[in-house]
Chain A
Amino acid sequence: MSATKSVIISCAGIGSRLGLATTKALINIEGKSLIRWQLELFEDVEDVRIVVGFQANDVIEEVRKYRDDAIFVYNHRYFETKTGASYYLGARDGNELAIEYDGDLLVHPDDMKILLEQEGEWIAYADKMSDDAVYVKTNQVGDVLAFSREQGDYEWTGPCCIKKDKLKYSSGHVFNQLEPYLPMKGIKIRACDIDTYDDYQRALDFIKGW
């Protein structure tokens, strides 16, 4: 992979909708923590940046078992901010292109490999799966035209990749950071968000299908 890319994994949130009384990075999926599943996707990436906030010390301890060379980025205001702020903080002093990977996301390893080989900027989305989702509207070739809370062709899951200079500190979501730059190249992937307990159950099935 090009040395001009950084991967930013946002693990600062509280994960309150999941109801497992732990930050999502540490939930157990088939005997492995979620963050471990994610780190395995980025074994060949040099600059892995983990944004931490809630339960930071526990996340750091878990990550260090597998990636002692990760750079931990603090989002001290994790309670008041969303993933848009974590994306900015993780990217601002990293490499030119910043790949955002949400801490509650599982992407099929084959698809992640394809994403890592992409040149330039892109947005990844998946088939609709979650109940409470943000959707993407696409054109015939799959480019992303808009995000919507109401309707769309696919579910916005991330990851995405954009030049770090385009990001700003914001109280919004990652897709809000991307909106000013639409349309953008879109890529359909197999992915699963883990927001609720039902999502968690779906993730277990998703991994068994790999």
Chain B
Amino acid sequence: MTKFIFDLDGTVTKQETLPLISKHFKIQEEIDNLTKETIQGNIPFVESFIRRVYILGKLPIDEVSELLEKVELYQKVAKFISQNSENCIIATGNLECWVDKLASKIGCCCYCSDGLIKDNKVIKLTRILRKENLVERYKSEGEKVIFIGDGNNDVEAMRIADIAIASGLTHMPAKGVLSTADYLVFNEEALCRQLNQLL
């Protein structure tokens, strides 16, 4: 069988979720600087993620989860996932407690990072999802793995996937992504056409 593993932010959702949270709670400046430095490659992704979660973890989890449930999706991509839900997987570094409602709306299996929760807040990160481990696991089960992503934290997963599709739907994919991609697409029609051809 073929498994399609999707990055979430900017690949299935039309917006990046961490900046959306920071905007909603009016702590944009702090988060945006970190995001910018990360995209420019000045701060490694994992370090940046830990620091961003530390800042955002103080926010009420239920409110964050409800906010992310409303984030706009790429409709054609969401439809492909819903029609092939058994073979589609979301892989996001985001915390499960934040994206649980959004994930159930998308309707396929979702792998996230975990945190220790107390009093409706994230006390600390306990596990960061390594997307490449997920790809390895499915491959070891004999699956053909297609990975669709756009960010630095997708690069290793894309390198070992059978087919790597760089998604330029929201922004130009990271340079590391382009250096390992088999395909690059810029709109939903092209992405969904390629996904259907790979079924």
In the complex, the answer to whether A69 meets B187 with C-beta atoms within 8 Å is: yes
Q: Write out the residue numbers on chain A whose beta carbons fall within 8 Å of the beta carbon of B187.
A: 68-69
Query: Which of B47-55, B116-124, B133-141, B190-198 forms contacts with chain A?
Result: B190-198
In the complex, the answer to whether B179 meets A70 with C-beta atoms within 8 Å is: no
Q: Write out the residue numbers on chain B whose beta carbons fall within 8 Å of the beta carbon of A89.
A: 182
Closest to A56 in B: B178
Closest to A3 in B: B193
Query: Which of A72-80, A121-129, A135-143, A171-179 forms contacts with chain B?
Result: A72-80
Closest to A75 in B: B182
In the complex, the answer to whether A73 meets B190 with C-beta atoms within 8 Å is: no
In the complex, the answer to whether A93 meets B184 with C-beta atoms within 8 Å is: no
- Residue from A46, A60, A93 within 8 A of B198 (CB atoms): A93
Query: Which bucket holds chain A's interface residue count?
Result: 10 to 19
Closest to B179 in A: A76
- Does B189 sit within 8 A of A, measured CB to CB? yes
Interface string of B147-166 (1 = CB under 8 A from A): 00000000000000001000
- Does A95 sit within 8 A of B, measured CB to CB? yes
In the complex, the answer to whether B193 meets A74 with C-beta atoms within 8 Å is: no
Closest to B185 in A: A71
Cα A71 to Cα B182 with chains together (Å) = 10
Query: Which bucket holds chain B's interface residue count?
Result: 10 to 19
Tell me, rounded to whole Å, the shortest Cβ–Cβ distance linking A169 to chain B: 13
Q: Write out the residue numbers on chain B whose beta carbons fall within 8 Å of the beta carbon of A73.
A: 182-183
Closest to A70 in B: B190
Provided the pairs A47-B193, A93-B163 are in contact, do residues A74 and B182 lie with their beta carbons within 8 angstroms? yes
Q: Which of A21-52 contact B (CB under 8 A)?
A: 46-47
In the complex, the answer to whether B198 meets A71 with C-beta atoms within 8 Å is: no
Tell me, rounded to whole Å, the shortest Cβ–Cβ distance linking B95 to chain A: 33
In the complex, the answer to whether A64 meets B186 with C-beta atoms within 8 Å is: yes
Q: Write out the residue numbers on chain B whose beta carbons fall within 8 Å of the beta carbon of A93.
A: 163, 182-183, 194, 197-198
Q: Write out the residue numbers on chain B whose beta carbons fall within 8 Å of the beta carbon of A68.
A: 186-187, 190
Cα A46 to Cα B179 with chains together (Å) = 26
- Does A109 sit within 8 A of B, measured CB to CB? no
In the complex, the answer to whether B184 meets A72 with C-beta atoms within 8 Å is: yes
- Does A183 sit within 8 A of B, measured CB to CB? no
- Does A94 sit within 8 A of B, measured CB to CB? yes
In the complex, the answer to whether B184 meets A74 with C-beta atoms within 8 Å is: yes
Q: Write out the residue numbers on chain A whose beta carbons fall within 8 Å of the beta carbon of B198.
A: 93
Q: Which of A92-140 contact B (CB under 8 A)?
A: 93-95
Cα A94 to Cα B198 with chains together (Å) = 8
30 residue pairs bridging A and B, Cβ less than 8 Å apart: A47-B193, A47-B197, A56-B178, A60-B184, A64-B186, A68-B187, A68-B190, A69-B186, A69-B187, A69-B189, A69-B190, A69-B193, A70-B190, A71-B185, A71-B193, A72-B183, A72-B184, A72-B185, A73-B182, A73-B183, A74-B178, A74-B181, A74-B183, A76-B179, A89-B182, A93-B163, A93-B182, A93-B197, A93-B198, A95-B197
Given A47-B193, A71-B190, A74-B183; 17 other pairs, CB 8 A cutoff: A46-B193, A64-B186, A69-B187, A69-B193, A71-B185, A71-B193, A71-B194, A72-B183, A72-B184, A73-B182, A74-B181, A74-B182, A74-B184, A93-B182, A93-B194, A93-B197, A94-B197
Interface residues of A (CB under 8 A from B): 46-47, 56, 60, 64, 68-74, 76, 89, 93-95
